Amino acid sequence: MSSASLDGMTALVTGAGRGLGLGIAQAMAAAGAAVMLVSRSAEELERAAAEIAAAGGSASAAVCDVTDAAAFGRLVERMDDLDALVNNAGINVPQPFVDVEEETLDRILRVNVRAAFLAAQAAARRMIARGGGGAILNVTSQMGHVGAANRSAYCTSKHAVEGLTKALAVELAPHAIRVNAVAPTYVETPMTAPFLADAAFRDDVVARIPLGRVGRIAEVAAGVVFLASPAASLITGTSLVIDGGYTAQ
């Protein structure tokens, strides 16, 4: 059986300064990967890299706004190796559909779709040039599979990346590059904290999840590690929905 170890691999994780991105980076480092942490906050990145190093992992950090495609492309080109990209950076601004401003819509699409598209493009170019294959993991959401009130822009963006995942999986397969998505339910992170702090909202969310609780960062990170590893060598073009049964209903 193929190993779920990431020994000898180099991974780049966007939005890695905190929350889900940090948890993913920590899990990949613990599995043996050398991890490049990318976000806009130098302070968060330095702290994250230090935490990974203290735990015995290998991590480096680069301050970069993923919406700056040219800067991100230069960062990837400077890497000696790139075996896995985790497109994790994203935003959500819940609003009633009729109240969504053009500026908000553009911002969500710029971060969640455009930046993910161009980051994957930069990574694929590097992997093809290197000739060793690789894995691209897009962190989407259960909202990339269903719809929800006040999430029109977010759902639009995550459905788009689910479609991108399938298209890239087909096109990049001849280069031995696997492309998959990880679609979590509500997870306890800094981004979801303001929503989940509302008792009524949290109770409604939990009532919709058959397993009866929100997710944990480690549970999503484990899925990313698996899909990046040789254990998932025949898996491409799919979405691992880590949602406690939310979308099964």
Instruction: State the chain's mean pLDDT as an integer.
Output: 96
* Assigned domain for 249 exists: no
* Assigned domain for 213 exists: yes
Active site residue 158: yes
Q: Are 76 and 124 in contact (CB under 8 A)?
A: no
Tell me, what's the pLDDT at 165?
Answer: 98
Confidence bin at 2 (pLDDT 50/70/90): low
- What are the pLDDT digits (tens) for 227-246? 999 999 999 999 999 999 99
- What are the pLDDT digits (tens) for 200-228? 999 999 999 999 999 999 999 999 999 99
Mean pLDDT on 111-131: 97
Q: Is 248 exposed, middle or buried (0-12, 13-18, 19+ CB in 10 A)?
A: exposed
Mean pLDDT on 158-182: 98
Mean pLDDT on 38-64: 96
* Assigned domain for 248 exists: no
* Assigned domain for 3 exists: no
Mean pLDDT on 151-158: 98
* Assigned domain for 76 exists: yes
Domain CATH number, residue 152: 3.40.50.720
- Domain hosting 197: range is 10-237
Residue 121 has pLDDT above 60, yes or no: yes
Q: Are 149 and 201 in contact (CB under 8 A)?
A: no
* Assigned domain for 4 exists: no
The DSSP string of 5-45 is: --TT-EEEEETTTSHHHHHHHHHHHHTT-EEEEEES-HHHH
* Assigned domain for 171 exists: yes
Confidence bin at 1 (pLDDT 50/70/90): very low
Active site residue 166: no
How many folded domains does the chain comprise? 1
Q: Where are the beta strands (DSSP E) in 42-169?
A: 58-63, 84-87, 134-139
